[in-house]
Structure 1
């Protein structure tokens, strides 16, 4: 396993001046889009109505907090990113952005996001956002990611908090509905990333990241994926029985979870020889399905709430 240390820029000279796109990439916009969407749904489906402008500001500051987490993650993980094929073109390992600049951006946006969310919504939601940033940047990035194959399981909580923060912006608290939205993202995260790890194992191995595929092998990872799809389905369907669920959401959840369980079962039954022979086609299909799965569940919650309002 690689030693934990901040990334040192190449000694050939100072990093060139970064462009606007590099700073955008630093905030992990694809991850931020998931944060924004789930936080917005959490806020919108809450039983307390929020002024549209305040709601917009709340989601904006949650997004900034998510971007700050991404910047801090890229600062600390630059040594890993430089080794992995899918991340080596990120701004820091590619030499377009100095590590110190990334750290400064992450810290500044963290403070700005937390303070402004407290002023725009409430201080409970702001404290929740501060804890989420800390959990992702310190607990997951600096500790779990490099020390345990449970990294993505426990660390996945950071990505599951945004809908709870959105709900807290509206209500000032936590409820069974927000906890089940958390559970939906939390139990989705391991099979999503483990499916990726099945066909990207060498990346994690070369970087010294103790992903489950590296420490326990692909066969054990396949078993874990199937177990988590079953647990995930239970929480996804349970969410449909709460005040924010309904027939439309339940219909979507039944179809998607049937497809997801089938995909998990297909992966479980495959041998490594079969996967290599077809280029991990089933694993890649499952990974793509997982992206649709989460978006569609939260979209169904949103449409269900809009239908209820009408």
Structure 2
């Protein structure tokens, strides 16, 4: 269990009462926005139409499930968040929200989101959401994150499930297309986070988180970034030639993959001294590119779905 003694009621009272915005921060709104977007794409590109009210309610409850995962993560990780510059101002380590309040919010939203998604859409999608919350909060946060440098590789599955959940809302099941959407995010996650770790390594080292940069060093991490980038490259084209793809998706993925592989090659060729000299400028650019990479892939799928009724999307 996480030691929360440093974040007791005294610290909370000293900082004053929590504001509404503090509880919103517990839900990790930036991460939630990715969950909402990819889940919505999964729902909208599915071949089965969904009533707009059902679609809206389903995305809302999937978002709440993502927020529940974030709150549970912040509850458990309060001790390591407190020593990392990137996270020390989060509500729990900063003392604005008590750890038990974060836990209660996470558990309550977990139950509400799963039950309501089952009632609004179907119980297969609800069970999938419940599994995703469990995977992020227990498998990744409690187990993998502090025990293995493969934490991001395996734990990345939690962030890759939302488009499959959206697809399940529409279809009640799983298909090759939804698995490919999962693989796009799953294979993207390691190079995305390892690029961040290259220039935030001191944070992870200080917190004792066994990121690959901490356990194997930056040179090995650069090799892994290239390897996973090359493994990721075929997934976009596979989606492009699937039933939910089309020429927009194909053009998008070819351009983005060329840029992403080129960025990974540049990172692979750098030394620690070179990277430190320019304050990891190349690594930071690659990290920003990775954000655009995922967003534009899913946006291209959405564009194909939007144009298909007009005879302009798809093959």
Structure 2 residue aligned with 1:13 = 10
Q: Structure 1 residue 8: deviation in Å?
A: 2.3
| Per-residue deviation, 1:287 | 0.1
User: What is the TM-score of this pair, normalised by structure 1?
Assistant: 0.98
Instruction: Determine the C-alpha separation between the residues in 2 that align with 1:11 and 1:17.
Output: 13
Moved over 3 A (4+): 9-12
Whether the 8 Å contact between 2:7 and 2:98 is mirrored in structure 1 is no
Contact kept, 8 Å, 1:9 with 1:99, in 2: the verdict is no
Structure 1 vs Structure 2 CA RMSD: 0.9
Could you tell me which residue of structure 2 aligns to residue 274 of structure 1? 274
Quick one: distance in 1 between partners of 2:64 and 2:286? Answer: 30
Cα shift at 1:9? 3.6
| Structure-2 change in CA distance of 1:303 and 1:11 (3 Å) | closer
SS at match of 1:293: helix
Unaligned 5+ segments in structure 1 are none
Q: How does 1:99-248 map to 2 (within 5 A)?
A: 99-248=99-248
Task: Answer whether contact 1:6 1:77 (CA < 8 A) is retained.
Answer: no
**Structure 2 SS opposite 1:242:** coil
Q: Kindly provide the CA deviation profile for residues 135-167 of structure 1, in whole angstroms up to 9, marking residues without a partner as x.
A: 000000000000000000000000000000000
Report the equivalent of 2:313. Answer: none
Report the TM-score, using the length of structure 2 for normalisation.
Answer: 0.96
Secondary structure of 2:234's aligned partner: helix
Describe the SS at the equivalent of 2:50: coil
Q: In the alignment, which residue of structure 1 is the partner of 2:249?
A: 249
User: 8 Å contact 1:190–1:225 — kept in the other structure?
Assistant: yes
CA, structure 1 residues 132+209, in 2 after alignment: closer, same or farther (shift >3 Å)?
same
Corresponding residue for residue 50 of structure 2: 50
Please give the alpha-carbon distance, in whole angstroms, between the structure 2 residues aligned to 1:37 and 1:233: 21
Please tell me whether the aligned partners of residues 40 and 59 of structure 1 are also in contact (alpha carbons under 8 angstroms).
Answer: yes
The residue correspondences of 1:29-48 to structure 2 (distance < 5 A) are 29-48=29-48
Query: Partner of 2:95: helix, strand, or coil?
Result: coil
* SS of corresponding position for 2:10: coil
Matches within 5 A, 1:50-129: 50-129=50-129
CA separation of 1:240 and 1:206: change in aligned 2, threshold 3 A: same
Work out the CA distance in 2 between the residues paired with 1:239 and 1:195.
25
Q: Which residue number in structure 1 is paired with residue 305 of structure 2?
A: 305
Q: Is the 8 A contact 2:9 2:98 kept in 1?
A: no
Question: Structure 2 unaligned runs (5+)?
Answer: 311-315
